[in-house]
Structure 1
Amino acid sequence: MDPFCGAGGNVIQLAKKYTQVIAVDIDAKKLEFAKKNAEIYGVSDKIIFIQGNFFEIAETLKKYKPQVIVSSPPWGGPSYKKHEVYSLQKHMCNEYEGGGKKLYDQLRSIAPNVALHIPKTTDRKEVNESNFYR
């Protein structure tokens, strides 16, 4: 599953390897791009597309029982570069209480395996000390 699929790059790659992938995005236009891209790559029949705000529909996504979540969650747009050291807690998904930690905890409540693409300037000490990896 990818809860922030955007135009579908990650889900298309996952669908090339796995039998079923769940693609979620809040933006209807991005989801349409993802559907079109999946058709171009011949994997649209393997992908379930869901429009919605991950933070609002997280509980309902559990019914799909994904084993792995691969995602590049919202970093805060180009402004993430202004942070010399990027904090998952303070900067990622900061419009939601709990930020990156809350996101990670929600992802782990849905699937046992989570892989996040994060900015290369992310504070590694924060990641190691905050139980982002259990």
Structure 2
Amino acid sequence: MTDPNLFGPIEYLVVEFPDGKIDPEGFEQVLALVDSRTIRILDLEFVVKYADGHATVFDADELNIDSFDVTAFAGASSHLLDTGDLATIAGDISVGSIAAVLVYEELALLPAIESWTRQGGRIIAEGHLDLDEFAEALTSTAPQQENQE
């Protein structure tokens, strides 16, 4: 039985769609991950940056995009973005772009987490590794190859 007070690792992803051109294939993949119970969407919001530089947050069902059926994501917005998040995202995307902000729970580890906590274990930290920092750590810890002549 799933404990409603336990969560798997929670991650976020921000994807910029230049000129507001959203390719629906990635969102179809997200739905497949939800259907297979690999992830659970906690929040999905869209940030639109206008020509004057200001940005606005929209729920999926508020967008009207020809090539993208947003009805599957209606109600997925939890409004987790605050003004600081919006400012950061707006600063990172180009004018005329739309950014999708997806906050999701990874469900694959949830059975292990439930087992550990049921046996008295306690999750004391969770985190996200930046890919660049991870690559640098791998490089700095890789065994040095000796020159063989």
| TM bracket (short chain) | under 0.3
* Bigger proportion of residues as helix: 1
What TM-score do you get using the length of structure 2 for normalisation? Answer: 0.26
Bigger proportion of residues as strand: 2
Q: Larger C-alpha radius of gyration, 1 or 2?
A: 2
